[in-house]
Amino acid sequence: MWFFAAAVVAGCWFGVPGEMRALWPVPLLVAAALVVRGRITAGLVLVFAGYLYGNAALQQGLEGRLPAAVSGQTFHFSATVTGLPEHERLSEGRRAGECRRRFRVEPDPDAQLPLSGRVDLSLYEHCIQLRPGDRIQVNARLYTPRARVNQAGFDSARHALSENVAARGYVRDWLEHSTRPGGVDGLRWHLSDRVRTILADHPRAARWVPALVTGDRRHLKQEDWRLLRQTGTAHLVAISGLHITLVTGLVWGLFRFVPPWLWRRWSTLSAQQLAVVPALAAAISYAALAGFSLPTQRALVMTAVVLLALSLRRAVPRGRLLGLALLVVLLWRPLSALSVGFWLSFGAVAVLGLMSGRGVLPLVRAQCLLSLGLGAVAGWLFGGWGLAAPLANLVLIPLFSAAVVPLALLGTLVDRSGWLLSGAAALLDTAMTVVQALARATPELPVAASLSAALLAALAVAVLLAPGPLLPRWSAPLLLLPWLWPDVPEPGPGGFHLTVFEVGQGQAVAVRTHEHMVLYDLGPQWPGGNAGRNLLSPWLEKQRAPVELAFASHGDDDHAGGWPGVRQHLPEGSLYSGEAHRVDGARPCRRGQSWRLDDVTFEVLWPAPEIDIRKSNNRSCVVRIRGRHGTALLTGDILKPVEYWLAEQGGLDSDIVQVPHHGSHSSSSYTFLRAVDAEQAFVSAGHGNAFGHPAESVQRRYRQLDTAVYNNARTGMIVFRRDEQHNAAPVLWRAQARRPWRAPLETGHEGATDMIE
């Protein structure tokens, strides 16, 4: 069972060549494993069968996606709204004040779309109230799910594959809309809306209680998630094993004490056996209210096995129970192995099994291991974990189990007056006030620099807390050593690493010196997020180097939009911009300014204060980096007139140059490129962007000057290293971190230019 499950997971993550994609050999191999003699032989056959099964699911998911050849085209289709649509009014960015609707649809079978799966859509401007089950007819521009590949950040392509999302896009023409009953999702919508109305005077509870009752987390704010991450309590607002077990146990206990004379006339079952049926019905109903999310699936399977064992009066070992739940989930939804929740969910149950026992001490040990051990992994995934987690869980888990969740469920389902919901809200507000105080009073811990370091830290905590001897306890400090150091060695004094992030149509660059970090441009913002919060901040937390200085080349959103997400990492007054009046808290960037960090000089070459500049792009702050082992020139969005002026001043020669203005034909003049005389250049541009960046004429100029150009839309994140190994080629992240669901690195070598378009 365990070998087969592990092989399914491996098949989903890594896949096999195309000629081995067929699913039909799997049942034959499983049958063979059941009849062959010898455990080793049977195990090998099952491993091969599991790998083929996982790979078949992977390939089916990949082939069901919108083909890349038609990505970006507009399609006409009818569909049904599924899940819980998100409604919001944007408060920032160029669409501030507009309505946005984000929702998932199931296209009609006769829609003739070149995909098989669901579609995630966005709708702007039209403030239309959408509900689960609604029927729509639209013209929508659809795109193949494609993740931006960086060392940190969310892998949206993998998430889409695990959720059976075959395309994403936005509605261009809203043609027809009719309201229909929404089934279970419609009931979730109705209950969530009713709870929020009743709790209108309790803003926090109005956001949190729907998450506890129906799994509706749409209204949780960024500060809510930040508190949950910091205190390791995010599991409390995800209907999972804790909640399913609680409801099942309450119903089973209630029916367990039904008087025998009520059923003995019709059945010979004991009260314990009789209570299994309503308990299982309650578990299924609560899982349905949560939309049958992965944690609820796992909890439901385990609950069903336990209830079956109770009805048969047999004991089921914990390890077999967990393995059976894992196997059922993987057979039902194999691609769920690609989701983060899969690993955290089963990891938490394994931890609870490891620390099982009677009394208070095993409970305390389990909570400490969940909060600190599994918390180290969650911190690496999401950023943020701290010493408040064990205390917060010891306070909140009993309170939620004994009072908040039961009151919230009863108040939602049976209480029309709302006083039960008000009681749950009062308890929740008090508890979260205490948790906020704990979070302020306890320090946050450094985030592990790599997944392996996080796993070793979790093992170290388990070694210290486990009742049995996993490993000698003296090994725990050794296991923690990787957590104390960064994943990649820092450059020595005088050296620097220049990292170019893939952020779409925008730019974000980080320069690492021996002990410090400098940011140049902070990425774009978009409705509901920005590159600073979603990408740069998680990456910076893993680098273990303080940000000393930052530049937002100019005020456009694609260069300065990420500023709100990273400002907590910067000292006051350390941000400079060529358009300081457009970037909150920035100081003017002017020619002649310079800083020296770890024997690396950062010198501002432009803008010149004596020259009147009219165009915003031409106000971009141009910075030259000079170290012992190389130089780099960062140009922002300057246009040709500024390039000519800089070429006249001289001192531009650099090993690495940022292609100005994302490769627009209005920049990268021959005069400028000859003055720079760079060996390597990089373009920050969005994949398939509407501007045609980088322009073919620009690419031709770099080819003629034998400059190797790297486009991060094709390569993913790029790392140029200028230290003792400064002659090494840059690290291209799409080649470094290959995955079946990611577009492969496209090199397109052209002679000595090493051109990556």
Q: What CATH number does the domain containing 536 carry?
A: 3.60.15.10
Q: Tokens 């918390």 sit at which residue?
A: 375
173's CB contacts (< 8 A; 6+ apart) are 138, 139
The answer to whether residue 137 sits within a structural domain is yes
Helix (H) or strand (E) holding 393, with range, is helix 388-399
Collapsing DSSP to helix, strand or coil, 39 comes out as helix
Which residue range(s) make up the domain with 154? 68-181
- Same domain for 42 and 85, yes or no, is no
Residue 99: pLDDT above 90? no
48 and 18, same domain (yes or no):
yes
Residues 117 and 22 in one domain: no
The 10s digit of each residue's pLDDT in 195-216 is 999 999 999 999 999 988 888 8
HSE-CB at 233 with a 13 A cutoff on CA atoms is 29
Both 502 and 583 in one domain: the answer is yes
Based on the fold, state whether residues 59 and 128 are members of the same structural domain.
Answer: no
pLDDT (0 to 100) of residue 180:
83
For 421-431, write each residue's pLDDT tens digit: 999 999 999 98
Is pLDDT at 752 greater than 80 in this prediction? no
3-class DSSP string for 697-750? HHHHHHHHCCCEEEEHHHHCCEEEEECCCCCCCCEEHHHHCCCCCCCCCCCCCC
Q: Whose CA is closest to 299, among 370, 238, 244?
A: 244
Same-domain check for residues 39 and 123: no
**Average confidence (pLDDT) over 689-698:** 92
Contacts of 483 (CB under 8 A, 6+ apart): 376, 446, 448, 449, 453, 454, 456, 457
- Tell me the mean pLDDT in the region 673-689: 94
Q: Is residue 473 part of a domain?
A: no
The Cα 538–Cα 664 span in angstroms is: 30
Give the model confidence (pLDDT) of 111-164 as tens digits: 889 999 999 999 987 778 889 999 999 999 999 998 899 998 889 999 999 999
Which of 181, 202, 218 is where one domain is finished?
A: 181
Please indicate, yes or no, if residue 248 is contained in any of the structural domains. Answer: no
Whether the CA torsion 122, 127, 131, 135 is positive or negative: it is: negative
Asked whether the beta carbons of 728 and 716 are under 8 A apart, the reply is: no
The CA-based angle 41-42-44, given to 5 degrees, is 65
Query: Within a domain: residue 453?
Result: no
Domain count, the chain: 3
In a domain, residue 111? The reply is yes
pLDDT beyond 90 at 726: no
What's the pLDDT at 754?
33
What phi and psi values does residue 3 have, to the nearest 5 degrees?
A: -65, -45
Among candidate residues 129, 155, 181, the one where a domain is terminated: 181
Asked if 533 and 568 count as a contact pair (C-beta separation under 8 A), the reply is no
For residue 38, is it within any domain?
yes
Are residues 44 and 78 both part of a single domain? no
The confidence score (pLDDT) of residue 241 equals 66
Q: According to the model, what pLDDT value does residue 19 have?
A: 47
What are 523-582's pLDDT values in tens digits?
Answer: 999 877 899 999 999 899 888 889 999 999 999 999 999 999 999 999 999 999 999 999
641 to 6, 644, 685: CA distances (angstroms) = 60, 5, 22
The kind and range of the H/E element at 246 are helix 241-256
**Together in a domain, 741 and 599:** yes
Summarised one tens digit per residue, pLDDT across range 315-372 is 777 778 788 888 888 988 899 899 888 887 788 777 767 666 665 677 677 777 777 7
24 and 165 in a single domain? The answer is no
Average pLDDT (620-644) is: 96
Query: Distance between the two ends of the chain, CA-based, in angstroms?
Result: 47
* 637 or 398: which leads in pLDDT: 637
Q: What pLDDT is stored for residue 355 in this prediction?
A: 66
More confidently predicted of 49 and 757: 49
Structure confidence at residue 92 (pLDDT): 61
Q: In the numeric block, which tokens belong to residue 60?
A: 């089916």
User: Picking from 262-266, 308-312, 403-407, which range would have the lowest pLDDT averaged per residue?
Assistant: 262-266
Q: Would you say residue 45 lies in a domain?
A: yes
47 with 102, same domain: the answer is no
Q: What is the CATH number of the domain that holds 105?
A: 2.40.50
For the segment 226-241, the average pLDDT, to the nearest whole number, is 77
Residue 132's pLDDT is 92
- Do 710 and 610 share a structural domain? yes
The rounded percent of the chain whose pLDDT value lies above 90 is 43
Angle at 671 between CA 667 and CA 676, to 5 degrees: 90
Same structural domain for residues 501 and 581? yes
In degrees, rounded to 5, the angle at the alpha carbon of residue 384 between the alpha carbons of residues 462 and 165 is 95
Taking 50 as the threshold, does the pLDDT of residue 47 lie above it? Answer: yes
Average pLDDT over residues 585-592: 96
Please confirm whether the linkage preceding 607 is cis (ω < 30° from 0).
Answer: yes
Average pLDDT, the chain: 85
Residue percentage of the chain with pLDDT more than 70? 89
Residue where a domain stops, chosen among 63, 79, 97: 63
* pLDDT top residue among 239 and 234: 234
Whether 525 maps to a domain, the answer reads yes
